[in-house]
Amino acid sequence: MIAERWAQLRAEIPAHVRIVAVTKSLPATAIAEAIAAGATEIGENYLQEARAKFASFLEGSPEPVEGFTKHFIGHVQSNKAKAIVETFDIVQSVDRIEAGLALAKAAAAAGKRLPILIQLNISPADRFGVRPEDAPELARELRAQESLLLDGVMAIGPLGASRADTSRAFELAAGVFKTIGGTTLSLGMSDDWREALRAGSTMVRLGSYLFGPRPAPARV
């Protein structure tokens, strides 16, 4: 099922667009299945859950698996920055300078340069994300941090909106991406990835489209 979905997506989505398989609230076996199907990038929202799953996945596998990129796509709490930096390869959800500075400090202490994206708010119902008009200033502040590598923007489309409203929101995000620069425009989830591709997305984040409906989040 996952393998078929993956093959279908890879046939339909242009090769330069990266697909992040979002495994939040799913067991560690979902990560293994996604990787077996061809995924190389995994997205998780909750730090504790992700740490436990990455650990059990790595222990359970017959050979060492280091060949996948771990994306943090959940809300960044500054007091968790150190653990986030230890656990993930890229943080897509930096929406305020305090979170950026906490990540910068943790990355510097770990001797890393951490790739990040700015999370934009393009939906009135979304609690997180920087307002588009404030994004260039946040980008300037984040670029001043040597241990961060700001590489573009991420946004969550308006849930339950019309196709037209979704497309308008994605165009807005694409405009901000053009201003800020970088290589990655992370737009598009299970219900709106086609609109995202039309707006120029270079990275889609897919959960239920790949794995089927998810159980309620196991919040920690």
Q: Where along the sequence are the contacts to ligand PLP (CB under 6 A)?
A: 22, 24, 45, 73, 156, 189-191, 205-209
Which run of H or E residues covers position 149?
strand 148-155
Q: Please, which residue, 3 or 144, has the CB nearer to ligand PLP?
A: 3
Q: Please, which residue, 182 or 207, has the CB nearer to ligand PLP?
A: 207
CB of 7 to ligand PLP, least distance (A): 18
Q: Please, which residue, 132 or 207, has the CB nearer to ligand PLP?
A: 207
Distance CA 131, CA 138 (A): 10
- The CA-to-CA distance between both ends of the chain, in Å, stands at 29
Residue 170: is it exposed, middle or buried by C-beta count within 10 angstroms (0-12/13-18/19+)?
A: buried
Residue at 120: amino acid letter: L
Cβ–Cβ under 8 Å, residues 148 and 187: no
CB of 5 to ligand PLP, least distance (A): 12
Which run of H or E residues covers position 10?
helix 2-12
Q: Minimal CB distance to ligand PLP: which residue?
A: 207
CB of 75 to ligand PLP, least distance (A): 9
Distance CA 169, CA 107 (A): 32
CB of 56 to ligand PLP, least distance (A): 21
Q: Please, which residue, 87 or 190, has the CB nearer to ligand PLP?
A: 190
Q: Please, which residue, 69 or 190, has the CB nearer to ligand PLP?
A: 190
CB of 68 to ligand PLP, least distance (A): 17
CB of 45 to ligand PLP, least distance (A): 5
- Half-sphere exposure in the Cβ direction for 215 (13 Å, CA): 6
Q: Please, which residue, 24 or 53, has the CB nearer to ligand PLP?
A: 24
